Amino acid sequence: MVHSKAARRLWKLAAALFALLFAGFVAAQEAYPSKPITMVVPFPPGGVADIVARPAAEAMSRVLKVPVVIENRAGAGGGIGMGHVAKAKPDGYTVLLALSSISIIPEADKVTERTPMYQLNQFVPIARFTADPTVLAVRADSPWN
């Protein structure tokens, strides 16, 4: 297939413009992370979640080379902090350390007909720190099996 010089120049120009446009797009992307990360712990300082969060935040800071700041937002069985993260800007700079109550609270909201603080689909798990067993227990001499 024979192309004219003008057509070849047009293709070269289009390719060059595309390359410039793409290069500008790539250059505009900010490196992550470029600022401190907030790790929300939805329970008070000194509790199990806080004890797990602090060494995890220190390790993240070393690896990511930015501060990872713990922010305890206690209340409503963890719902206050979890609701805060659910409404935060989804830019990767606010992360949540949650316990098993993350899956219980939305269901409890449905059963009690409360306005939900958050929905599970507002979160994406990125790491598992512990195996947090949740059990229902009764006295050994109870008629329940």
pLDDT along the chain (145 residues), means of 10: 59 53 58 96 95 94 97 95 96 93 90 92 88 79 84
pLDDT of amino acid 91: 94
Smallest CA-to-CA distance from 94 within 47, 55, 36, 44 is with: 36
Give CB contacts under 8 A, 24+ apart, made by 29-33: 32/92, 33/64, 33/66, 33/92, 33/93
pLDDT of amino acid 92: 93
- Report whether 48 contacts 42 (CB < 8 A): no
Query: What is the rounded distance in angstroms from the CA atom of residue 111 to the CA atom of residue 11?
Result: 63
pLDDT of amino acid 137: 85
Tell which CATH classification among 3.50.50.60, 3.40.190.150, 3.30.499.10, 3.60.15.10 matches the domain 37-122.
3.40.190.150
Q: Which SS3 state, helix, strand or coil, does residue 72 take?
A: strand
Report the predicted TM-score, pTM, of the whole model to 2 decimal places: 0.72
